Structures are given as C-alpha cells and as structure tokens.
Structure 1
Amino acid sequence: MPKTKNIRELVDVIRSKNAGPYELTFDFIFKSFEIYEEVKSSGVINEELIAELYDIKLEDVISVINYDPAKAIKATIVRPFSSGAIGETDVYGAQQHAPLLKIEIPWD
C-alpha cells in the first residue's frame, strides 16, 4: 500500500477567504520549499480534486495555481452563494477550508 501524508502534516497554513463577493479562494502555504516542491510535483492538488471535495462542477473551479516564491498553492472557485446573499452562512468565506483537510499526498 502506498504511503501518504495528510496535508495537515505538510502545511503551516490552510485557509479560505473571499476573493470578491462571488468567489472563494483557498491557500495552502507549505512548511518548506522542499515539501512544496514535492506536493506540487505530485499533481494531487488540481481542479478535479477541488471540484470533487466541494461537490461542484469542474467549470466552477476558476483556477489552481502554484506560487513558487511563497511556497504556496492557491485554488479559487465560484461561491455557491454570493457573500451576504440570503442563505449564505459565511460572509467572509473564512470557514470553508474544512474539506481540504482530508487531502492525502503520496509520500515515500
């Protein structure tokens, strides 16, 4: 069975926040450049994974980008409800990162 590490072991920060009233963004900031490079090269954090974790259409994943200078990966999705709309429960988008905590990364 392949070895994995949970994303929580590899990052200093996992967070969600608004990227305007109609989008949510998720940040993974890794503990080191070596860990970041390993996760980046694995390709695990991608549009398909984000769509699956948030049960959204693939086209609602706006982007998943690697930001080398900050040893970070950023994913952005269309908000299910715009910030402050009726039925919306997290106006700042700060409590939407929980599904990301399940991510497992292949690790030797």
Structure 2
Amino acid sequence: MPKVSEVCSHVRSKNAGPFWITLDLWFADAASFERYASAAALQPGAIARLYGVEPDLVKYFALPDLRVVKISYPRARPQGGAIERDMHGGQQYVRLLDVDL
C-alpha cells in the first residue's frame, strides 16, 4: 500500500483559528485523487484515532477541482497556552505522512 507521502505532492498542517488544526493534502494528479481521496485512512474515524480526538468533531472536505483534501480537527489545547508545543500547527502533518492508503 502506498503511503500519504508517496501519493501526495504536498502535505501541510496549519492553524484554523485558535481551537482547530487543518491538514491539507495535495494529490499529485487527478488519478491519485480519484483513487485515494476517499481512502478509509483519511476518513474522520481514522483521523480521530491518529490525532486522539472525537470522530464526530473531525471535518473532511474533498475538493476534486483542486485535487485537495482538507481535514480539520480540534486542538488538544487552545493555541498559545503555557505548554504549547506547536503554536502554528505547522508540525501536525508529520504523523500523517506514513499512513498507508
């Protein structure tokens, strides 16, 4: 099975406000998007397990015209707290890279 890092040309994470993180996955081509965008590993339940959040709080958006999947989930703690480890959410995508599709 290919991994996210092998199928996507770019993967990033970022803040979606102080309480949410968004993952953006750009697929390399239309065929890859069609084949993998709806993979079970990218669905809310799987993302919830990967990031330790409630499945019903994960938001999934497939944008076929752009060949992009956007996934948002709530942060464990609000942005900017005293023990914040990733203020801008820019490192959260890393655990997604080795996920098998």
How does the TM-score come out when normalised to structure 1?
A: 0.86
Structure 1, unmatched stretches of 5+, are none
Is 2:100 the partner of 1:104? yes
Note the C-alpha offset of 1:44: 3.4
Judged with a 3 Å threshold, the aligned counterparts in structure 2 of structure 1 residues 50 and 41 are, in CA distance, closer, same or farther, namely: closer
* Distance (whole Å) between structure 2 residues aligned to residue 40 and residue 57 of structure 1: 21
Structure in which a larger fraction of residues adopt strand: 1
Note the C-alpha offset of 1:51: 0.4
The root-mean-square deviation of aligned C-alpha atoms, in Å, is 1.3
Is 2:93 the partner of 1:93? no
How does the TM-score come out when normalised to structure 2?
A: 0.92
Give the structure 1 partner of residue 62 of structure 2: 66
Structure 2, unmatched stretches of 5+, are none
- Structure 1 segments, 4+ long, off by >2 Å, are 40-44
Greater shift in the superposed pair: 12-21 or 35-44: 35-44
Percent of residue pairs bearing the same amino acid type: 28
Larger radius of gyration: 1
The match for 1:44 among 30, 41, 45 is 41
User: How many residues are paired up?
Assistant: 101
Give the structure 1 partner of residue 77 of structure 2: 81
Q: 1:48-88, CA deviations, whole angstroms, 9 ceiling, x for partnerless residues?
A: 01001112221332x01101111011100011111111211
Give the structure 2 partner of residue 14 of structure 1: 11
Judged with a 3 Å threshold, the aligned counterparts in structure 2 of structure 1 residues 70 and 83 are, in CA distance, closer, same or farther, namely: same
